[in-house]
Amino acid sequence: MSASVRLTGPMNGGGRKVHLSPYCVCLAANDLPTAKEMPAGTRAAQTDGVETWWQEYLYAATASDIVTAERNLRLVIDADPTAQPPRLALGKLLMQRERTDEGAPLLAKLAEAGRAEAAFYLGVGTVL
């Protein structure tokens, strides 16, 4: 199940249709009580895994629970070392927490692989 929204603006092609999961819609609406129940449903249907940890990271980040967000990102990365979105999120989180010795290497690898967003956060982190 997903919700469709039409985004308008220069960053998304001026009207591209995007599909969002109900979980992402809850987080975007800051409906944390409903969003908090969704990983529990995933966990009931399957054992702990990348999908559950990613959902719990998204919830923790929205709820400003940095410790839980970092823990879940590390679980995702340990399970799938090649996954770029969690590496980018962890690098960004570490740089924001002024832990550049940990965040910079993550972002540097992604920047070398062509991820412009990683290069941006790496540059911002070195300025701070």
Q: Average of pLDDT values for 88-107?
A: 93
Long-range Cβ contact pairs of 84-91 (< 8 A, separation 24 or more)? 84/110, 84/113, 84/115, 86/54, 86/57, 88/115, 88/117, 88/118, 88/121, 89/57, 89/61, 91/118, 91/121, 91/122
Tell me the HSE value of 19 on the side-chain side, using a 13 A CA sphere: 2
% of the chain with per-residue pLDDT over 70 = 74
Q: Name the band, by pLDDT with cuts 50, 70 and 90, for residue 42.
A: low
**pLDDT value at residue 8:** 41
Pick the more confident residue, 27 or 4.
Answer: 27
Q: In terms of DSSP H, where are the helices of the chain?
A: 22-28, 32-45, 50-62, 66-79, 84-96, 100-112, 116-127
Q: Average of pLDDT values for 108-125?
A: 89
Distance from C-alpha of 67 to C-alpha of 56, rounded to nearest angstrom: 11
Question: Mind listing the pLDDT tens digit for each residue in 44-78?
Answer: 666 678 888 888 898 899 899 999 999 999 999 99
Domain-wise residue ranges, the chain: 1-80, 82-128
Instruction: Give bridge partners of residue 17 from the DSSP assignment.
Output: 6
Single-letter code of the amino acid located at 31: D
**pLDDT value at residue 77:** 94
Q: Average of pLDDT values for 30-54?
A: 76
Q: Average of pLDDT values for 21-39?
A: 78
